[in-house]
Structure 1
Amino acid sequence: MNSVTNTSLLKNLIFDLGDVIIPIDLTAPVRNFAMLANLPEDEVWAVWKQHGLINQYETGLVDDAAFRDHVRRLLKNDTETSDRWADEVIDTAWNTVLLDLPVERIERIKELKQNYRLFLLSNTSPIHIRRVNYILTSLNQPTLEELFERVFYSYDVRLAKPSPEIYQHVLTEAGIVPEETAFFDDNAANIQGAAALGIQAVQVQPPLTILDYLKDV
């Protein structure tokens, strides 16, 4: 679905984070870890996929420390100095996925709080959320937890989009119903997952941004 088709019943808005609120570059962390490890990018991609590390981290199966240790074990050469793979170095490389945050998107979301209940639903990791909140506060904006009535992070709920269970979890926990709810996400599979439950699911597709989809809301 490319727009909200029924605004008359609309009471609740659920937002994805990456490429909806903050632009992202999914290839950037791989490029940076490849440089750190002195490996080809495709080899790093293969390691990620083989071990399912990102999914484990984003669904809370491993914590920050275990994620960093896994990265070191998979990519670090035993002869390299530990400083090169310090926690902050790994965190910085991991956070290169996050691009500049357009403040006007935050301002529009703040306006919408006057008329709608607002929620955030993101497949993400604690390192990313801490960085996004740092970016927001440095721009004199509220944190994600202050901006939204409730935030639902995959690593907290131990579920990930597009699993139907994560959408049902949000509906149940927030006490909202699908027909009064719109969901904005950039991923087609995530949109289909939400739409299957009756949520008005809107795919945010470049060159349009969330601001274009919120004009009539």
Structure 2
Amino acid sequence: MAGVLKSGIKNIIFDLGDVIIPIDLRGPIRNFAVLSGLSEDEVESLWREHGLTLQYETGLIDDAGFRQHVRQLLKNDTWADEVIDTAWNTVLLDLPIERVQRIQELHGQYRLFLLSNTSAIHIAKVNKIFAELGQPVLEDLFERVYYSYEVKLAKPSPEIYQYVLNTSGLKAEETLFLDDNPHNIRAAAELGIQAVQVQPPLTILDYLRDESTNEDVPHSS
């Protein structure tokens, strides 16, 4: 696997889930199924029918609104906020500290950014995980963070990539974007961003190898 830190790259935009911190997308479904007594399929169907994740991650509803929607959908108005937050955050797995350390090594060599489809509850938990492990919170790790719920746009919408480029003064051809989702990669590449899909079992440690060992690689599309 050749690295992707090629000549001409000045900026790196990172996705969060499964790029920096591993995630289990079905974790919340499993946990809400246990809490509600419904099957995982029933919970997943309700989630999709009402578009709850997208509403929350694009800022159409806030934390309190999200929790209330969960109580209504799963027919339990007695759940405390902490119960819902804990189940929602089971999407987050253990943080490989070496990934954070590699990002820190890139400071001063590149302008570093984060672009994530996420929610405020998740970000609060991620920052708590980072702090407990003695690592800088996301807002300190990157020059600027872009959260979908704050900008009210979500990947793979072209508008969110253009927003990042415009507000941070980035040139697409000088910008590397690392994401695990092929749809997100394709959308970024169509704008001229040097988009590369992070595909397990490889991690950003494989893609962001020292430049002296890199070979040129084709862009994902």
TM normalised by structure 2 equals: 0.93
Does structure 1 conserve the Cα–Cα contact (< 8 Å) formed by 2:3 and 2:209? no
- The 2-side partners of 1:163 and 1:172 are apart by 15
- The 2-side partners of 1:77 and 1:128 are apart by 22
- The 2-side partners of 1:28 and 1:110 are apart by 29
From 93, 106, 110, the equivalent of 1:99 is 93
Deviation at 1:183, TM superposition (A): 0.2
Residue 22 (structure 2) pairs with residue 30 (structure 1):
no
User: What pairs with 1:20-169 in structure 2 (closer than 5 Å)?
Assistant: 20-77=19-76, 82=78, 85-169=79-163
Please give the secondary structure, in 1, of the residue aligned with 2:102: helix
Matched residue type, 1:192: R
Does structure 2 conserve the Cα–Cα contact (< 8 Å) formed by 1:30 and 1:45? yes
Deviation at 1:8, TM superposition (A): 1.2
Please give the secondary structure, in 1, of the residue aligned with 2:176: strand
From 202, 208, 212, the equivalent of 1:214 is 208
Residue 195 of structure 1 aligns with which residue? 189
Does structure 1 conserve the Cα–Cα contact (< 8 Å) formed by 2:3 and 2:206? no
Please give the secondary structure, in 1, of the residue aligned with 2:47: helix
Please give the secondary structure, in 1, of the residue aligned with 2:13: strand
Residue 3 (structure 2) pairs with residue 9 (structure 1):
no
User: Which aligned segments of 4 or more residues in structure 1 are displaced greater than 6 angstroms?
Assistant: none
Matched residue type, 1:107: Q
Which runs of 5 or more residues in structure 2 are unaligned?
Answer: 212-221
CA deviations on 1:78-130 (whole Å, 9 max, x unpaired) are: 6xxx2xx1100000000000000000000000000120000000000000000
Residue 215 of structure 2 aligns with which residue? none
Please give the secondary structure, in 2, of the residue aligned with 1:202: strand
Deviation at 1:7, TM superposition (A): 1.5
- The 2-side partners of 1:180 and 1:216 are apart by 18
CA deviations on 1:140-190 (whole Å, 9 max, x unpaired) are: 110000000000000000000000000000000110100100000000000
Does structure 2 conserve the Cα–Cα contact (< 8 Å) formed by 1:3 and 1:202? no
Matched residue type, 2:99: R
TM normalised by structure 1 equals: 0.94
CA deviations on 1:183-213 (whole Å, 9 max, x unpaired) are: 0000000000100000000100001011100
The aligned length equals 210
Matched residue type, 2:62: D
Please give the secondary structure, in 2, of the residue aligned with 1:20: coil
Which runs of 5 or more residues in structure 1 are unaligned?
Answer: none
- The 2-side partners of 1:76 and 1:131 are apart by 25
Say if 1:111 and 1:35 are closer, same or farther in 2 by CA, change over 3 A.
Answer: same
Matched residue type, 1:145: E
Deviation at 1:55, TM superposition (A): 0.1
CA RMSD of aligned residues (A): 1.2
